[in-house]
Chain A
Amino acid sequence: MSLLKVEGLGKSYTSDIKILKNINFEIKAGEFVSIIGPSGAGKSTMLRCMNRMVEFNEGKIIFNNNDVGSLNKKELRKLRTSIGMVFQHYNLVPRLTVIENVLHGRFGYKTTMQGILGRYTEEEKERAFYLLEKLGIHEHAYKRCDQLSGGQQQRVGICRALIQEPKLVLCDEPIASLDPSSSKIIMDHLKSISTEMGITCLVNLHQVEVAQNYSDRIIGLNKGEIVFSGTSSELSEEQINKIYGTETKDLIMA
Chain B
Amino acid sequence: MNEKTMRKSRWQTVIFLLIIIVLTYLSSAITQFNFIDGMATIPEAVGWIFSNLMITQESLGKLPKILEKLNETILMSIAATTLAAVVSLFLGLFGSKTTKINNFLSVFARFIASVSRNIPVVAWSLILLLSFGQNSVTGFLALFVGTVGFLTRAFIESIDEASQSAVEALKATGATYFQIVSKAVIPQCLPQMISWILFMIETNIRNATLVGILTATGIGYTFDVYYKTLNYNAVALVTFCIVIAVLIVDFISNYIRRVIL
Most chain A CB neighbours (cut-off 10 Å) among B171, B178, B183, B187: B183
Is B184 in contact with A93, judged by CB distance below 8 angstroms? yes
Which A residue sits closest to B185, measured CB to CB? A93
What are the interface flags for B155-192 relative to A under an 8 Å C-beta threshold, 1 for contact and 0 otherwise? 00000000101101111111110110011100110010
Among B165, B171, B187, B188, the residue within 8 A (CB) of A53 is B171
Q: A93-B184, A116-B183 are in contact. Are A87 and B165 (CB under 8 A)?
A: yes
Please give, as numbers and ranges, the residues of chain B lying within 8 Å of A107 by CB-CB distance: 170, 173-176, 179, 183
User: Is A78 an interface residue when CB atoms closer than 8 A count as contact?
Assistant: yes
Is A91 in contact with B173, judged by CB distance below 8 angstroms? no
User: Is A92 an interface residue when CB atoms closer than 8 A count as contact?
Assistant: yes
Among A78, A80, A116, the residue within 8 A (CB) of B172 is A80
Distance between Cα atoms of A81 and B173 in the complex (Å): 5
Most chain A CB neighbours (cut-off 10 Å) among B165, B166, B174: B174
Please give, as numbers and ranges, the residues of chain A lying within 8 Å of B171 by CB-CB distance: 53, 80
Is A115 in contact with B183, judged by CB distance below 8 angstroms? yes
Please give, as numbers and ranges, the residues of chain A lying within 8 Å of B182 by CB-CB distance: 115-116
CB distance from A165 to the nearest CB of B (A): 11
User: Is A174 an interface residue when CB atoms closer than 8 A count as contact?
Assistant: no
Among B163, B174, B191, the residue within 8 A (CB) of A80 is B174
Please give, as numbers and ranges, the residues of chain B lying within 8 Å of A94 by CB-CB distance: 188
User: Is A28 an interface residue when CB atoms closer than 8 A count as contact?
Assistant: no
Please give, as numbers and ranges, the residues of chain A lying within 8 Å of B163 by CB-CB distance: 93
CB distance from B19 to the nearest CB of A (A): 45
User: Is A85 an interface residue when CB atoms closer than 8 A count as contact?
Assistant: yes
Which B residue sits closest to A79, measured CB to CB? B174
Give the size of the chain B interface in residues (CB under 8 angstroms).
20
Please give, as numbers and ranges, the residues of chain A lying within 8 Å of B183 by CB-CB distance: 93, 96, 100, 104, 107, 115-116, 118
What are the interface flags for A53-95 relative to B under an 8 Å C-beta threshold, 1 for contact and 0 otherwise? 1000000000000000000000001111101110101111111
Distance between Cα atoms of A115 and B179 in the complex (Å): 6
Which B residue sits closest to A108, measured CB to CB? B174
Is B165 in contact with A91, judged by CB distance below 8 angstroms? yes
CB distance from A230 to the nearest CB of B (A): 29
Among B165, B173, B187, the residue within 8 A (CB) of A108 is B173
User: Is A154 an interface residue when CB atoms closer than 8 A count as contact?
Assistant: no
What are the interface flags for A154-165 relative to B under an 8 Å C-beta threshold, 1 for contact and 0 otherwise? 000100100010
Distance between Cα atoms of A84 and B170 in the complex (Å): 10
Is B178 in contact with A80, judged by CB distance below 8 angstroms? no
Residues of chain A from 25 to 67 with CB closer than 8 A to chain B in the complex: 51, 53
Which A residue sits closest to B165, measured CB to CB? A91
A-B contact pairs, 8 of them (CB 8 A): A53-B168, A53-B172, A81-B173, A90-B165, A93-B187, A108-B174, A116-B182, A160-B173
On B, residues with C-beta under 8 Å from A are 163, 165-166, 168-176, 178-179, 182-184, 187-188, 191
